[in-house]
A = this chain, B = another copy of it.
Amino acid sequence: MKKRIILGSASPRRRELLSQIGVEFEVRVSDKEEIYKSSIPEEIVKELSLMKAENVASDLLENIADGSIKDTVVIGADTIVVLDDEILGKPSDEEDAVCMLTRLQGREHWVYTGVAVLDFGPDGEKTVINYPVGTKVYVNAMTEDEIRAYVATKDPLDKAGAYGIQGRFAAYIDRIDGDYYNVVGLPVSRVYRTLRECGGQ
């Protein structure tokens, strides 16, 4: 029997990726807060993804009469862009996006997605699987005109690091080492393997 799968993310890109590989799932998002203690990028995304998954599970539990979640897998994920050990979040405005892209162009950076899978068995027992996946991204040199033209598309404004690899910015991605879908927001092949191990697929 396949388990019930819950994706604990509001990101339309993560929904698309999980659908793309044929997984059937529901989406639940918690409005509980996420905080982290680490200062190491790989650890931060692990913490954040775990907290997202735990918050969704805790919301679920509040609505379950017998107090336990059974035969269910809850997935949390969080993606960050890292340049020289500094985390680039979503840009605050267009000028901030221009700044970020000016720093990213002509060199390589890392994208990390943290994945947390809470695997609830038939008796409600919980197994936690939590890991970061990193992809190295090489961005071509860009002129200021190219950066401003890309920012004018508004594509960067809702994205960590001020770019989306899956859109027009593809013109500037020289190459990657790692999982492409990890840069989009979910390392689907690794997640698929995890789900298979949990009995989620």
Contact = CB atoms under 8 A, between A and B. Distances in A.
A88 interface: no
Tier of interface size on chain A: 20 to 34
Contact of A170 (B173, B175, B188, B193): B188
A156 B70 CA distance: 37
B17 A193 contact: no
Contacts of A190: 174
Contact of A180 (B22, B140, B180): B180
Given A140-B189, A189-B140, A193-B140, A20 B167 contact: yes
Given A175-B177, A180-B180, A20 B189 contact: no
Contact of A22 (B171, B177, B193): B171
A192 B168 CA distance: 11
A128 B178 CA distance: 33
A188 B175 CA distance: 10
A64 interface: no
Contacts of A177: 175-177
B170 A189 contact: yes
Contacts of A176: 176-180
Contact of A172 (B140, B168, B189): B189
Nearest to A174: B189
Contacts of A172: 189, 192
Nearest to A21: B171
A20 B170 contact: yes
A193 B140 CA distance: 9
Given A168-B22, A170-B21, A179 B175 contact: yes
Interface of A: 17, 20-22, 135, 140, 165, 167-168, 170-181, 188-190, 192-193
